[in-house]
């Protein structure tokens, strides 16, 4: 039987095949023909890359081993977020937003009801994205925000766009907030608490920049009158879910100090809520498995292998010459801008997979600058992140159209402002806290 070296393509063919496969995988994720999962295209593409010799089996196994713990962590966080919804956490959030906006309307000088509702959406979406990951904001909070805006008589556009933008921008704070963060967390070599400390100021200023721009961009929608309905009784807080999430976050910190993979803490939190739901007959084992989104996990693994093939066949070398060296402010700005550009060309997950090995030798500051670019940059285009694509589907399911020109115009205003402010804040944090 011929060895891999005998089957390997020449450099030009391997480079062309790997690029074509990456384009096909990303197109499949964007279009999802016949509503099929992303993995239906990605998994065969990864198999073709290995079988044709565009990537060696050894490199494919190494990529799978690197992504394995990250994928396990992602599965646990998805299950945790799903059962927080089962416990009623997101319904309680919607009720709180309605009561807060309606109550503040009766107090002079508190702003319009839609404006107060937008502030509540920003607060909740930022916290939920940071703690339960961006998928929770897109899939679970966005429908609640839509329903709350309709109930309050407010125009939904500002609040829906806030969910989309914050699912990316507000995912900067913790390693658990985004799949890109998990990858950067491993490459940066930082503890959980040090990562959060360095990213706290960039997170705050980026969210603040988004808020200022969205308030201005949607000022006519926010100035429009809204007739608030009766917010009803105060919602019952799902204490068990809140305590479980708090314990899981504490577990991340403890695991980081002990050198234990934080995936175990996430798994413990997810298992706690899943077992509770099973015992109370509010779910089934099949639903638990579906909550982990196995097809999406397979997509992430296959995408990683295809991206590694592109790296092995020339992309890494070309980008290596473009990545600025060092961690001074100009270098950090250049790295973040390159990461944002690449995220909008090939999606943020492939972008971070390609850029992390190139920036890790420069230290944690360069890695975190990549993270700023791939998390904030995708607000410019639909294809910038999988979260934005998923948000668009959720919005369409509620019969609310999204205008491409409006989305792009808003992105052209928010991305430079949020990214520039966040990079400066990161530079300040690196000098004030150190690594």
The DSSP secondary structure of 118-136, one letter per residue, reads HHHHHHHHHHHHHHH-HHI
Report how far apart, in Å, the C-alpha atoms of 188 and of each of 195, 274, 356, 372 are. Answer: 9, 32, 9, 13
pLDDT at 1: 46
Closest CA to 185 of 62, 70, 342, 268: 70
78 touches 89 (CB < 8 A): no
Measured at the CA of 227, the angle between CA 221 and CA 233, to 5 degrees, comes to 120
Residue extents of the structural domains in the chain = 1-54+298-313
pLDDT at 146: 86
pLDDT at 413: 96
> Confidence band (pLDDT; 50, 70, 90) for 148?
confident
In this structure, the number of other CB atoms found within 10 A of the CB of residue 293 comes to: 20
What span, in angstroms and rounded, lies between the C-alpha atoms of 184 and 202? 16
pLDDT at 6: 47
pLDDT at 200: 97
pLDDT single digits (tens) 252-290: 888 877 878 888 888 999 999 999 999 998 899 999 999
pLDDT at 111: 55
- On the question of pLDDT at 54 being above 60, the answer is yes
Residue with more model confidence, 313 or 169: 169
In this structure, the number of other CB atoms found within 10 A of the CB of residue 156 comes to: 19
| Whole-number CA gyration radius for the chain | 22
- Give percent above pLDDT 90 in the chain: 40
pLDDT at 37: 84
> Confidence band (pLDDT; 50, 70, 90) for 139?
confident
What span, in angstroms and rounded, lies between the C-alpha atoms of 344 and 380? 7
> Confidence band (pLDDT; 50, 70, 90) for 423?
very high
Helix (H) or strand (E) holding 334: helix 329-346
pLDDT at 424: 98
- Model-level pTM? 0.82
Q: Name the average pLDDT for the chain.
A: 86
- On the question of pLDDT at 31 being above 80, the answer is no
Closest CA to 67 of 179, 170, 172: 179
Backbone torsions φ then ψ of 10, nearest 5 degrees: -70, 165
- On the question of pLDDT at 86 being above 80, the answer is yes
For the segment 186-215, the average pLDDT, to the nearest whole number, is 94
- On the question of pLDDT at 101 being above 80, the answer is no
- On the question of pLDDT at 226 being above 70, the answer is no
DSSP state, residue 88: T
- Give percent above pLDDT 70 in the chain: 91
Read off the tokens for 45: 């593409």
425 touches 185 (CB < 8 A): no
What span, in angstroms and rounded, lies between the C-alpha atoms of 138 and 166? 9
> Confidence band (pLDDT; 50, 70, 90) for 112?
low
Lowest mean pLDDT among 91-100, 191-200, 422-431: 91-100
DSSP state, residue 401: -
Residue with more model confidence, 340 or 351: 340
For the segment 350-357, the average pLDDT, to the nearest whole number, is 88
pLDDT at 230: 56
pLDDT at 427: 97
Residue with more model confidence, 117 or 103: 117
54 touches 16 (CB < 8 A): no
DSSP state, residue 262: T
pLDDT at 8: 54
- On the question of pLDDT at 364 being above 90, the answer is yes
């Amino acid at each position: 039987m011929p060895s891999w070296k005998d089957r390997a393509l020449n450099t030009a063919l391997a480079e062309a095949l790997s690029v074509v496969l990456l384009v096909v995988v990303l197109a499949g994720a964007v279009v999802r023909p016949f509503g099929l999962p992303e993995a239906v295209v990605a998994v065969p593409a990864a198999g073709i890359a290995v079988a044709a010799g565009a990537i060696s089996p050894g490199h494919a196994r190494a990529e799978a081993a690197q992504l394995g713990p990250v994928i396990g962590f992602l599965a646990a966080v998805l299950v945790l977020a799903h059962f927080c919804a089962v416990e009623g956490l997101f319904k309680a959030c919607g009720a709180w937003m309605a009561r807060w906006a309606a109550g503040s309307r009766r107090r002079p000088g508190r702003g319009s009801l839609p404006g107060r509702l937008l502030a509540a959406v920003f607060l909740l979406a930022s916290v939920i994205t940071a703690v339960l990951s961006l998928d929770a904001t897109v899939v679970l909070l966005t429908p609640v925000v839509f329903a709350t805006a309709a109930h309050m008589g407010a125009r939904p556009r500002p609040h829906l766009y806030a969910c989309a933008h914050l699912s990316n921008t507000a995912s900067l704070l913790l390693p658990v907030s985004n799949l890109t963060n998990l990858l950067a967390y491993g490459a940066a070599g930082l503890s959980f608490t040090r990562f959060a400390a360095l990213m706290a100021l960039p997170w705050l200023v980026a969210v603040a920049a988004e808020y200022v721009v969205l308030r201005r961009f949607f000022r006519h929608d926010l100035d429009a009158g809204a007739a608030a309905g009766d917010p009803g009784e105060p919602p019952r807080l799902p204490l068990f879910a809140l305590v479980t999430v708090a314990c899981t976050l504490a577990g991340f910190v403890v695991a980081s100090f002990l050198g234990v993979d934080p995936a175990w803490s996430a798994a413990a939190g997810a298992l706690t809520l899943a077992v509770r739901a099973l015992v109370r007959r509010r779910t089934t084992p099949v639903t638990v498995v579906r909550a982990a989104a196995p097809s999406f996990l397979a997509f992430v693994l296959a995408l990683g292998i295809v991206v590694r093939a592109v790296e092995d066949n020339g992309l890494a070398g070309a980008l290596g010459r473009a990545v600025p060296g060092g961690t001074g402010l100009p270098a950090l700005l250049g790295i973040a801008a390159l990461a944002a550009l690449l995220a909008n060309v090939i999606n943020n997950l492939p972008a971070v997979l390609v850029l992390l090995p190139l920036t890790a030798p420069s230290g944690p500051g360069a890695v975190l600058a990549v993270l700023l670019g791939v998390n904030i940059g995708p607000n410019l285009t639909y294809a910038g992140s999988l979260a934005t694509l998923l948000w668009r589907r959720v919005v369409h399911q509620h019969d609310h159209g999204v205008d491409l020109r409006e989305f792009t115009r808003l992105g052209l205003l928010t991305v430079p402002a949020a990214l520039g402010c966040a990079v400066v804040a990161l530079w300040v944090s690196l000098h004030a806290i150190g690594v």
